[in-house]
Amino acid sequence: MLTRLELTDAQLAELTAMCEDAERIDATTRVLVGERCLGLAMFETLDAFDWGGAIARHVYTLSGFSADDRSHYLSVMRSTVEASQLPLAERGGVEREQLDKIGFPNPGSPSDRLFSTVFAFRRISSRFALVWGNVVPSDFRRYARLRTARTVLAVERFRLKHGKLPGALSELSPGFLKSVPLDPFDNKPLRYKKLEKGYAVWSIGEHGDDGGEIKDLETLIPGHDVIFRIKR
């Protein structure tokens, strides 16, 4: 849109405010609370779960593994929901730590293989871990998209006022940004580069490769790096 249309400063400022408001929405907390409800429903309706046979289900239920699985699930989910309410700079490591606790203990050990193939130890909570493993990076990508968009809008407001692009993102503060937005993946300022035609603002994404020294921005990874590129 910004490449095709020339928006006014007022319109750009309004879009910036919308991005700021979107960052305040506790979407991740809501998702986790919803997932917790689904998980509890799984413990109440074991018939809906694929056990691979009646014996495995009975062993899981009668041996006490079911109670342990449920207790473990609730404990980790409580900590994960609490972590989702922390400031973004603090919560990434905490969320990942909690998500790592869900699943099989001591991966690859003989006892773990026995539990996974015969007794299905913590089978329900580990199944949900497959979904939760995508929650944190997806959440951080959402923040990265909002922050790169907000930064690009500030660059456009700078361009309208001064008739040129800023040499660095630091020139946008305090006139158009309170401060340069931080990349949620490494807590460093977002990357910016003027190009032959236009410019780009980007986050390193979950793969963690800083493209700052990369001359060809096409080598960045779509879907992992969060790139906002304006061609003029």
Q: Which residues pair with 225 in a beta bridge?
A: 222
> Beta 182-183 vs 199-203: how paired, if at all?
unpaired
Q: Please state, in angstroms and rounded to a whole number, the distance separating the CA atoms of residues 195 and 206.
A: 24
Q: What six digits make up the tokens of 164?
A: 């040129």
Whether the CA torsion 34, 24, 83, 185 is positive or negative: it is positive
Distances (CA, A) of 87 to 62, 175, 232: 42, 25, 36
Show the low-confidence residues of the chain (pLDDT under 50): 103-120, 212-215, 221
Q: Please state, in angstroms and rounded to a whole number, the distance separating the CA atoms of residues 170 and 156.
A: 14
Q: Please state, in angstroms and rounded to a whole number, the distance separating the CA atoms of residues 36 and 143.
A: 23
Is residue 99 within 8 A of residue 80, CB to CB? The reply is yes
What is the model's pLDDT at position 214?
Answer: 46
Q: What six digits make up the tokens of 230?
A: 């304006």
Q: Which residues pair with 189 in a beta bridge?
A: 182
CB environment 187-205: b (16+ within 10 A), e (fewer): eebbbbeeeeeebbbbbbb
Which of these, 181, 193, 189, lies nearest to 149 by C-alpha position? 181
Per the listing, tokens 């989910």 go with 77
What is the model's pLDDT at position 60?
Answer: 73
Peptide bond into 174 cis (omega under 30): yes
What is the model's pLDDT at position 225?
Answer: 67
What is the model's pLDDT at position 232?
Answer: 75
